[in-house]
Chains A and B, each alone.
Chain A
Amino acid sequence: MSGEAKPILVIGGGIAGITAAVEAAEVGYQVILVEKDAFLGGRVMRSYKYFPKMCPPTCGFEINTRRLRRNSRITVHTLATVEQVSGKAGDFKVKIKKRPRYVTGACSLDDSIAEQLTSERPDDLNLGMGTTKALYYPHDMAFPPLHMLDRDALSESDAQTLTKVAPAGAIDLTMTDEEIEVDVGAIIVATGWRPYDATKLDNLGFGQCENVVTNVMMERIADPRGPTGGKIVRPSDGAPAVNVAFVQCAGSRDENHLPYCSAVCCMASLKQARYLREHNEAARATIFYIDIRTIGRLEKFYYNLLADANVAFVKGKVAKITEDPGSKDLILDVEDTIAGHKPEQKFDMVILATGIVPNTVDVKIPFELEYDEYGFIDGATDVEGIYAAGCAKHPCDVSRAAKESTAAALKAIQCVNRG
């Protein structure tokens, strides 16, 4: 039955989208995977390690890309977005717009070519901490394994240089947008998340105090491939961060910001406390929380950290963060809710556990769809043929995202079979 069935469209190539695509394709169905970035992997490619095993996300990603490469039923479009969807379950018509990469793939490039350019761009993989050349390899394990050219960042003289130094046919500066139309039977939305904008939390000092960073930035700072080469140092002076505070629920569980719990930031902070401790024996972490939400077997990770004398857990809401103008140390005003404990007030660096905002909060899928009040496409939306998975549906960790996208693959298969 899979032979003549219409393909399944997967929007978003993060862990949820990739999983949905390979799971459906391995059953025997055709899949079209559309990713807006230049590479697959989404947010987890910006994570250093996964809780609770402290393993690199690239380990699973390598297996997943092998599954993608091996499977002739999957077509991947990167730099692509869905512009229009019409029709109904079993019979959707979809317009996909592909932005130009300016790198043809006829001959892969190597960084010695990029190094001859002067134009730079903010490094989005490192969340703008640092820059890359206008021609760049997105990351170590980039899939597809191609460079990307940021045309807007490329100066005229660099454009000239490129035509001289790049192998013939490797770069094509005349590439333009491309539009393709596909017929699909079902759609899986796996458009994922972005971090809550920490500058909106004005009491917590992000953007005003140099040494206040967010948890997503910390993932990059701890990573040897990140902007500091894996050294956990203060942005203000590059000094090692020894005494670090983690501020939980930064924006989450707060009716003025994100009323829901972002579900992963407790574990993320505990994991990052481990980064810190593994990095520097003398380092101390203090975690200010409302509730420690380490659910299921993740609880063990919390217990293991409790045993570390250099990690303190303090129940208390951080009301305000200010900076000592001289030392750039941070002073935390904490409503200490557990009597008898007086949390330390001064820290070298503060990490805000910012929460998860669905990308669909403002970039909607071009089809009549229902979103919940926060912008997630919740399972309860009753549109046949369109299924959400991963952080597009609710805040969740990788394992849950992978499970739900496997489930979404089956729902989509049922739909294309009927169609």
Chain B
Amino acid sequence: MEDKIGVFICTGYGIADALDVDALCKVATDEFNVPFCKTVESCEGPGLKSINEDIASEGLNKVVIAGISPRRYPDHAFPEQVMVEPVGLREQVVWCLPAAEEDTQMVAEDYLRMYLTRVKKRQPLEPFQPEETIDKSLLVVGGGIAGLTAAVEAAKAGYEVKLVEKTAVLGGWLAKQHKSIPTRPPYRDLEDTGIDELIAEVDANPKIKVYTSATTGEILGAPGLFDVTLKSAGNGKPEGEVVDQFRIGAIVQATGWRPADPREDLPYGKLDNVIRNVELEEMVKSQGRITRPSDGKEAKSVAFIQCGGCTNKEHHSYCSSICCLTSLKQALYVREQDENSKAYIFYEFMRTPGKYENFYRRAQEDDGIFLTRGDVTEVKPNDNGGLSVTARDTMLGEEIQVNVDLVVLAAGMIPNAADGEAIRALEDAKVTMVEGDSEAKKKDAAETLERLKQHDGTQILNLGYRQGPDLPSLEYGFPDSHFICFPYESRRTGIYPTGAARQPTDGMGSRADATGAALKAIQCVEMTARGEAVHPRAGDKSYPDFFMQRCTKCKRCTEECPFGVLNEDKEGTPLLRATRCRRCGVCMGACPERIVSFKDYSVDIVGSMIKAVNVPDEFEEKPRILVIACENDAFPALDLLGQHRLQSSPWIRTVPVRCLGSVNFVWITEAMSAGYDGVILIGCKYGDDYQCHFVKGSELASVREKNVREKLEQMAMDTERVELHQLQIDEYHKLPGIFEKFAELIDEIGMNPFKGM
């Protein structure tokens, strides 16, 4: 299709007072030969309407509107097929620079040049559509409460589900429980677990196919196109034999948890009458009574020791969130058994958040339940076949001692999840041990093997991903990417961990959590079928295109993609699995050959925008500083700077990028060659509490920045000319200082010596 470009320049909002609008029009008409350039009084309301009328009547398909910030347009302001580039002259020029000054005018004209360049180079998007149709059915791995719930809820919404469970029966831990903690008002009473009903619902639903005694032997492909091979997990069939093969669209990982090892200083495994909470549960479920394992005698008094294996000051571990409630529940089992029985609970903090407080209150009201805030220091056998428990009561400050029949350790939960990245690193190290070409490499590999040995053979999903067979984990082995606002995000598109596999959680929490995970899986297949990206660029119809003829198989993209999108063949050629892609552009930033591009975002487009700026010669003493800003946080912060009428710098020219990880460092060397005096990169926070919406993007940029400094040295440039900042969206007030300091620096070290060459 032929380009029909139109430019609208808004005169409202004080723009015409601050800027020479005629001169702006001339940039479009004379420099860029745009046939259609018009001034409008506003780009909202009636102004917007008239713009849209002109777009229609002139048949424009590429439009630049110099006016308000792109973030200020009302929803769905323009027809979808028109490529619109709003230039936020109001926020990023007029509101933050002195009016009617030459330097301010230069900024505005440069922005117009940049966005005209961009719109010219943009191509219409064609949503990614693989040759095969997108499969919309789901795979749920794990048949506990979370997996069963995900399966039922997805099926109720009309989706086919394959549910695979490793053991011979469905139900997971909940099926082994006698009763459940309360899940409904008034939150005081024990309830049936409801697991049998849920299993019956799964069995009866024609949309759900259940495989028990099976595991995922292999999962190849990508969202919408996952090819799954199920293998037998024993139980009749030989282990490892292929059970079935099928295609699915998205995956819910509900592989649950296992109990933690108890505190080492307590005699679990040494004394028969010291058991864990899970064992007590199984005991009550199977025999209906609580007895002493040592002699089968009825247990009339039971001591519960909280945090019996998980939260621990020394280990800085997590709280399993469910053990307090479990012990309260089990204390009620004790009390129900015999009206004279006694339950002691030793705890540090009683954690019954929300309405679970009512359940705690019920236990407090029960005079057979003794709640003691204290540290248990010793558990030893007593004379009558029971146990003596000694604790330091932290409230009374004295030592107390009770005799009980049974001690129950509230052991915490450990996720049944594997760390895909660690497994991959381990496998790589194994290969290096055999094939490594230097002793140093082998030594490193040996260290890796030692460091990661606990991951050996732990794989669960067996994904055919270059970056490992399972989701990467964040902390304590949980495969979460831990966004507060976006709790379902994982680093493998279309694979959503849920329930206790993702975080410590109770049964009620698991059900809600799994329902949400099912929605995310459904959403993924629907968006994939429409050729759209999922979160955080939800709805984006662009996707990366690799110009393979020039690929040198350097593997940077396959290693750096935060989402494991790219597989590789034996030679190291990247193989794009486009439906896994989140469109962050990290691969584009990584590629030294610059072969990766999107139709609306490429090394060429951004590079050309950068070069579209008029750089005055040295003698004019007007430095030019390129600001490359993450569009998720830093770019909005620049808007806020204007909104608060803080002063920016007339020397800066900003280009927004999808993620700082997408910055191809050729832009920086090109900018230096084009005469810019320096470059400031602004991205999100990285490290433990990272805020990068693509998880790794800003961190990667920081690593690459170091390489760029080397490059600058080779060019005989001061390395200080490139600076990287981490900025939160609400830290806009820091920007003027950053710009000012940088300008001072340029003043000190002098202008770019290549200017005008």
Are A59 and B691 in contact, CB atoms less than 8 angstroms apart?
A: yes
Are A299 and B515 in contact, CB atoms less than 8 angstroms apart?
A: no
Tell me the chain B residues, 65-90 only, with Cβ under 8 Å from chain A. Answer: 68, 71-76
Q: Count the B residues whose beta carbon is within 8 Å of the partner chain — how many?
A: 98
Are B74 and A107 in contact, CB atoms less than 8 angstroms apart?
A: no
Chain A hits for B350, CB < 8 A: 291
CB of A64 within 8 Å of the partner chain? yes
The complex places the Cα of A1 from the Cα of B136 at a distance, in Å, of: 13
Tell me the chain B residues, 247-272 only, with Cβ under 8 Å from chain A. Answer: none
Are B513 and A399 in contact, CB atoms less than 8 angstroms apart?
A: no
Tell me the chain A residues, 124-173 only, with Cβ under 8 Å from chain B. Answer: 140-141, 144-145, 167, 169
Are B313 and A372 in contact, CB atoms less than 8 angstroms apart?
A: no
Tell me the chain B residues, 214-271 only, with Cβ under 8 Å from chain A. Answer: none
The complex places the Cα of A411 from the Cα of B154 at a distance, in Å, of: 10
Chain A residue nearest in CB terms to B42: A107
Are B317 and A299 in contact, CB atoms less than 8 angstroms apart?
A: yes
Chain B hits for A394, CB < 8 A: 354-355
Are A410 and B632 in contact, CB atoms less than 8 angstroms apart?
A: no
CB of B353 within 8 Å of the partner chain? yes
Chain B residue nearest in CB terms to A304: B316
Tell me the chain B residues, 387-416 only, with Cβ under 8 Å from chain A. Answer: 394-398
Chain A hits for B1, CB < 8 A: none
Q: Count the A residues whose beta carbon is within 8 Å of the partner chain — how many?
A: 96
Are A372 and B728 in contact, CB atoms less than 8 angstroms apart?
A: no
CB of A282 within 8 Å of the partner chain? no
The complex places the Cα of A59 from the Cα of B728 at a distance, in Å, of: 7
The complex places the Cα of A340 from the Cα of B478 at a distance, in Å, of: 39
Chain B residue nearest in CB terms to A379: B184
Are B45 and A107 in contact, CB atoms less than 8 angstroms apart?
A: yes
CB of A104 within 8 Å of the partner chain? yes
Produce 1/0 per residue, B321-354, CB < 8 A to A.
1000000000000000000000000000111111
Q: Choose the segment among B519-527, B596-604, B656-664 that binds chain A (4+ C-beta atoms closer than 8 Å).
A: B519-527
CB of B32 within 8 Å of the partner chain? no
CB of A122 within 8 Å of the partner chain? no
Contacts A59-B691, A62-B633, A62-B636: A72 and B75 contacting too (C-beta < 8 A)? yes
Are B488 and A53 in contact, CB atoms less than 8 angstroms apart?
A: no
Give the shortest distance, in Å, between B538 (CB) and chain A (any CB).
Answer: 5
Produce 1/0 per residue, B25-45, CB < 8 A to A.
000000000000000001011
Chain A hits for B186, CB < 8 A: 372-373
The complex places the Cα of A320 from the Cα of B509 at a distance, in Å, of: 37
Chain B hits for A378, CB < 8 A: 184-185, 355
Chain B hits for A85, CB < 8 A: none
Are B44 and A50 in contact, CB atoms less than 8 angstroms apart?
A: no
Chain A hits for B398, CB < 8 A: 339
CB of A406 within 8 Å of the partner chain? yes
Residues of chain A whose beta carbon lies under 8 Å from any beta carbon of chain B: 1-2, 15, 19, 22-23, 26-28, 50, 52-65, 67-72, 74, 76, 104-108, 110-111, 140-141, 144-145, 167, 169, 224-225, 253, 259-263, 291-300, 303, 306, 315, 337-340, 372-374, 376, 378-380, 394-400, 402-407, 409-411, 413-414, 417
- 14 residue pairs of the A-B complex, CB under 8 angstroms, read A53-B484, A67-B535, A72-B76, A105-B45, A106-B44, A260-B355, A297-B478, A300-B475, A372-B355, A380-B183, A404-B516, A406-B519, A407-B516, A410-B153
Further pairs besides A60-B484, A144-B74: 14, Cβ < 8 Å: A19-B485, A26-B523, A63-B693, A67-B535, A70-B538, A106-B44, A108-B13, A140-B730, A259-B361, A260-B357, A306-B313, A315-B394, A376-B355, A410-B518
Closest 10 CB pairs of A and B: A339-B397, A106-B45, A60-B485, A406-B516, A407-B515, A380-B184, A410-B519, A263-B353, A291-B349, A407-B516
